């Protein structure tokens, strides 16, 4: 057997395997490439035995209230510097760290990133995960290989820069950001004279919406982003494609956590912004308080001598809305040299929403950023063929023939729903594109699920979920939220994820992995619901993410409440061994501390060190069976466990509370 294969089976690196082999009694040398099959099986058996003993020692240490030894590589690798390119696959990243892929996937999940081993992650994600695993991640020197692994967004920027000689003005893209319930969508409603909020569950925007507004013979494209903290990625995505931001702050609530986060996203994106101070019609509203809080963050309002434009508005009453639009147009005029695109090239744009429709199949909303997107165009993403544009719809749902830069349009005819934030472009040469990537992606998802299911975590309790939603943004937000709920002892595992209705496959997978199915804005067919009842698979449906998070929090609290707490009630000194056999010892002893009773947790200690654990099947005093023995009394006990007890050992009795 190859050493690398042996290390893979034991879920360790080859370096860790070589370090541990001498302790197990196998010294094959660090240069060995292969090992005899018989020896390999002996190593596996010895490794399992050692792992089991280690778990038992950790369990006993935990019961006795002692510190548990950690295997974290953080202390060992703190100063180890790893150079990686701008984008790298999870498998390659694990190889660079010399760690099992499982370990890297687990750390990614803890940070809310659900990826398979063949998926690519960016440098920022890799550096965060690497730091938590004890490595210092630094960017590799620019090379041809690095250029090939450049991110899609960087590629888009590069294309837009190359078009500099053919640029024409386009509608500005305005993103509306701010804290939950501060009135972002209501402001858009007032601008568009529509009522989008009433169509959202609980009055909360769950998805990114893109709309266009005509003012003074000019077009503005607005992107509305959700304000709930679960939708961080979606808000960030909205800022990434925008030219101007409107930061909405409620006059009665001032700056809140998501407001600060929105400010950071806007500043990182380096786009100009206007502050809309909303709800000024409320009695408790204080415009000056908002301006004061802004100045404390280093954002000095214009009328206080700074550069931040603040526009007081009331979306409910319609006050100040025209002033806000005029201000946005003014900022657009100031940025007109940057709000341009080439309308005559092959179309390219960013996906701002993606889902599967029952009647229309995979559907995506794209913001066209250059070129003209036409019905009949072939679409590609990172060298993969994603389908042909069968139909285009504008933000009002009207069928259109083409879309120009700055237009948000819905695409029908895709083979698969693209990831939100990815860049789609029109391709003329479809023969060079990969058309079998869908099967590859399905295999990757299957591999990932298998990896997660095979993870062993004896100290933690798992909550397994399969997540199905109507749009990709919601799936990402749910996964990100659930990752934040994990505790040291209770882990959340995402067994599967997907778009569209809940299927029989989801139910079968949930049954096999003891998972709960979460349906967000989706439900199963009656036959699938009946199958779930027959297989006792629980399916929960949600319209609002708050309720989903609250329910999972309750489950975690319930699991914590079930945790067993063991209390030391007494100690016995072994005076004599009367009988020994496999798995059972009859001993006599004296109670030296506390009192004894029949209990299922007894730890054998010698010179203060825990050797083994077991339970008491029978207690006797004066040859009579008893349930309790007081301090100072002598008694006989029948101990069920390893027959390693010797005279002079101390037995610690623990009772569950």
Query: DSSP secondary structure string, 213-272?
Result: EEETTEEEEEEE---SGGGHHHHHHHHHT-SEEEEEEETTT-S-HHHHHHHHHHHHHT--
CATH class of 352-390+402-432: mainly beta
pLDDT digits (tens, 9 = 90+) for 46-75: 888 888 777 777 777 777 766 555 444 433
pLDDT digits (tens, 9 = 90+) for 532-567: 888 888 999 998 877 888 888 888 877 765 556 678
Structure tokens, 474: 């919601």
pLDDT above 90 covers what percent of the chain? 13
CATH for the stretch 171-338: 3.40.50.300
Q: Where are the domains of the chain?
A: 3-63, 77-139, 171-338, 352-390+402-432, 439-561, 566-656
CATH for the stretch 566-656: 2.40.30.10
Q: Which residue has the higher pLDDT, 486 or 541?
A: 541
| Overall average pLDDT of the 422-444 stretch | 66
Q: Which residue has the higher pLDDT, 188 or 109?
A: 188
CA distance 524 to 505: 11
CA distance 494 to 465: 5
Same fold, 352-390+402-432 and 439-561: no
pLDDT digits (tens, 9 = 90+) for 508-519: 888 878 889 999
pLDDT digits (tens, 9 = 90+) for 128-174: 788 778 788 887 654 443 343 345 556 666 666 666 567 888 999 88
* Length in residues, the chain: 657
pLDDT for 414 equals 86
Q: List Cβ neighbours of 175 (8 Å cut-off, separation of 6 or more).
A: 222, 223, 225, 238, 239, 241, 242, 244, 245, 246
| Overall average pLDDT of the 502-528 stretch | 86
Tell me if residue 106 falls in helix, strand or coil. helix
Is there a contact between 72 and 106 (Cβ–Cβ < 8 Å)?
no
The domain over range 439-561 is classified in CATH as 3.40.50.10050: yes
Specify the residue for token string 């730091």: 131
């Amino acid at each position: 057997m190859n050493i690398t294969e042996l290390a893979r089976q034991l879920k360790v690196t080859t370096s860790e395997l070589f370090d541990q082999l001498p302790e197990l009694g196998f010294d094959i040398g660090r240069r060995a490439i292969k090992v005899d099959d018989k020896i390999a099986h002996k190593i596996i058996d010895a490794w399992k035995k050692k792992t089991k003993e280690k778990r038992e020692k950790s369990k006993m240490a935990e019961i006795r209230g002692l510190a548990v030894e950690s295997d974290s590589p953080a202390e060992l690798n703190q100063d180890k510097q790893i150079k990686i390119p701008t984008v790298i696959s999870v498998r390659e990243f694990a190889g660079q760290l010399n760690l099992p892929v499982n370990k890297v996937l687990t750390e990614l999940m803890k940070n809310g990133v659900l990826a398979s081993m063949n998926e690519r992650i960016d440098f920022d994600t890799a550096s965060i995960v690497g730091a938590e695993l004890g490595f210092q991640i630094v960017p590799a020197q620019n090379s041809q290989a690095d250029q090939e692994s450049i991110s899609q967004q960087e590629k888009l920027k590069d294309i837009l820069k190359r078009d500099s000689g053919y640029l024409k003005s386009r509608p500005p893209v305005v993103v509306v950001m701010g804290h939950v319930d501060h009135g972002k969508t209501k402001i858009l409603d007032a601008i568009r004279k529509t009522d989008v909020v009433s169509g959202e569950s609980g009055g909360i925007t769950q998805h990114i919406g893109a709309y266009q507004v005509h003012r003074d013979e000019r077009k503005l494209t607005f992107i509305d982003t959700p304000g709930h903290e679960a939708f961080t990625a979606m808000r960030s995505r909205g800022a990434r494609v925008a030219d101007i931001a409107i930061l909405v702050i409620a006059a009665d609530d001032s700056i809140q956590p998501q407001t600060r986060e929105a400010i950071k996203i806007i500043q990182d994106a380096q786009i100009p912004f206007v502050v809309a101070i909303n709800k000024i019609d409320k009695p408790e509203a204080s415009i000056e308080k908002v301006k004061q809080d802004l100045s404390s963050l280093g954002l000095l309002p214009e009328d206080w001598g700074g550069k931040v434009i603040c526009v007081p508005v009331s979306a409910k009453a319609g006050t100040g809305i025209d002033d806000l639009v005029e201000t946005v147009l003014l900022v657009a005029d100031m940025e007109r040299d940057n709000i341009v695109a080439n309308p005559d090239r092959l179309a390219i744009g960013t996906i701002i929403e993606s889902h599967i429709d029952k009647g229309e199949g995979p559907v995506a909303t794209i913001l066209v950023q250059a070129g003209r997107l036409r019905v009949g165009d072939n679409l590609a993403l990172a060298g993969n063929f994603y389908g042909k544009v069968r139909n285009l719809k504008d933000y009002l749902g009207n069928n259109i023939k083409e879309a120009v830069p700055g237009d948000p349009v819905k695409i029908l005819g895709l083979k698969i729903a693209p990831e939100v934030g990815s860049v789609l472009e029109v391709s003329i040469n479809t023969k060079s594109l990969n058309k079998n990537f869908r099967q590859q992606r399905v295999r990757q998802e299957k591999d990932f699920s298998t990896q997660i299911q095979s993870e062993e975590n004896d100290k933690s309790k798992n909550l397994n979920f399969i997540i199905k939603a109507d749009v990709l943004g919601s799936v990402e937000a749910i996964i990100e939220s659930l990752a934040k709920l994990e505790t040291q002892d209770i882990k959340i595992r995402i067994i599967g994820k997907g778009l569209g209705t809940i299927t029989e496959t989801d139910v079968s997978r949930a049954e096999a992995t003891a998972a709960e199915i979460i349906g967000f804005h989706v439900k199963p067919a009656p036959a699938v619901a009946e199958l779930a009842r027959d297989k006792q698979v629980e399916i929960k449906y949600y319209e609002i993410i708050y309720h989903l998070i609250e329910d999972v929090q309750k489950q975690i609290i319930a699991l914590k409440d079930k945790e067993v707490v063991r209390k030391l009630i007494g100690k016995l000194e072994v005076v004599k061994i009367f009988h020994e056999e496999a798995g059972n010892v009859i001993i006599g002893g004296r109670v030296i501390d506390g009192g004894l009773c029949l209990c299922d947790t007894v730890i054998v200690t010698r010179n203060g060190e825990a050797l083994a654990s077991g339970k008491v099947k029978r207690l006797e005093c004066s040859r009579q069976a008893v349930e309790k023995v007081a301090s100072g009394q002598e008694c006989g006990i029948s101990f069920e466990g390893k027959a390693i007890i010797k005279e002079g050992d101390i037995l610690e009795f623990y009772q569950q509370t």
